[in-house]
Structure 1
Amino acid sequence: MRRLIPHPALSVLLAIVWLLMANSITVGGIVLGLIFGILLPIFTAPFWPDRPRVRFGLAALGYVAIVLWDIVIANFQIAWLILFRRNRDLRSRWLVIPISLTTPEAITVLAGTISLTPGTVSSDVSADGRFLLVHALDVADEAAEVARIKQRYEKRLMQVFA
């Protein structure tokens, strides 16, 4: 079965994305989505020899829920900063976050999560993959912000990518 569908989650995701891009659910669209969902992972499997183990369960759902919540809250925080504080009052900082994650996929998800949250953007990963450089728009305490990112995102990603 692994030879036919080497990356089941990717196959499902590709089929769903195809249906969303088609903007309608038809029999032909479903069939084409399934064909793409099966063939693309087969052709790309040689490029993923050491794919990470991902737990698609409560840990992943919890992570998605936390990220969505943080995005909503951060939007309100940034709107408040723009509307009620002057630019000279902002405390923008570069944060160097030590990373305990080991797989490139998990590090990419962490960097993407940080960039998705308004007010922060991931800028670079160190050559050895042990540090992430992040720019934050308004930070009162750098150490507390680094600890928050590690606790809120990285700790949960370690459970997802176990």
Structure 2
Amino acid sequence: MKRLLPYPAMSLFLLGTWLVLNQSLAVGHLVIGAVLGLVLGAAFGRLQPPPLRIRNRRRLFRLGTLVVGDVIRSNLALLRIMLGGTTRDVRSGFVTVPLQLRDPYGLAVLACIITATPGTIWMSYRAREGLLLIHVFDLVDEADWIRLIGDRYETPLKEIFE
């Protein structure tokens, strides 16, 4: 069974994603989703990902609620800027953030958090130096962004994954 379904959670996730994207529970979509789940789940196994170890599930939940709040707050701030509610000029820019986080799953979650937050995007990561480059739509103070990412996201991610 393990050979046919090496990552059952991944296969189930892919099936669910297929059904949600197609907004249908028709037999044809169930079959296609199941086939995609099996094939892509097996392909995922060939990548030989490192084992996932979540060290602090409670912290993961708190980080998730924090991120949801940050995304909502960022949406409102960006909406204010776009609709002209602010009188100051918006200055976009790049920020280089030094990271101590090295876990690939932690870095992937950080990439999702940064990219999902309106007004910021993950540009590149230099693993050897541990430097993350992000673009910020409304850059006021680089030091604030470095501190924000380090304290608000990197520290909890290190507690969760390392």
Shorter-normalised TM-score: what interval? 0.7 to 0.9
Q: CA deviation at 1:154?
A: 1.8
Q: CA deviation at 1:4?
A: 4.5
- Asked if 1:67 is matched to 2:48, the reply is no
Identity %, equivalent residues:
32
**1:123 corresponds to:** 123
Q: In 2 relative to 1, CA 123–68 (structure 1 residues): closer, same or farther, beyond 3 Å? A: same
TM-score in terms of structure 2 length: 0.78
Q: CA deviation at 1:125?
A: 0.9
Distance of 2:59 and 2:30 partners within structure 1: 29
Deviates more, 1:45-54 or 1:118-127: 45-54
Distance of 1:160 and 1:21 partners within structure 2: 30
Count of paired positions = 161
**1:85 corresponds to:** 86
Deviates more, 1:115-124 or 1:33-42: 33-42
Residue deviations 1:74-114 (CA, integer Å, cap 9, x gap): 0111122231235x622433211111221334323312321
Listed as ranges, the gaps of 5+ residues in structure 1 are: none
What code does the residue aligned with 2:40 have? Answer: L
TM-score in terms of structure 1 length: 0.78
- Asked if 1:111 is matched to 2:111, the reply is yes
Q: In 2 relative to 1, CA 59–95 (structure 1 residues): closer, same or farther, beyond 3 Å? A: same
Distance of 1:19 and 1:34 partners within structure 2: 10
Q: Secondary structure at the match of 1:52?
A: coil
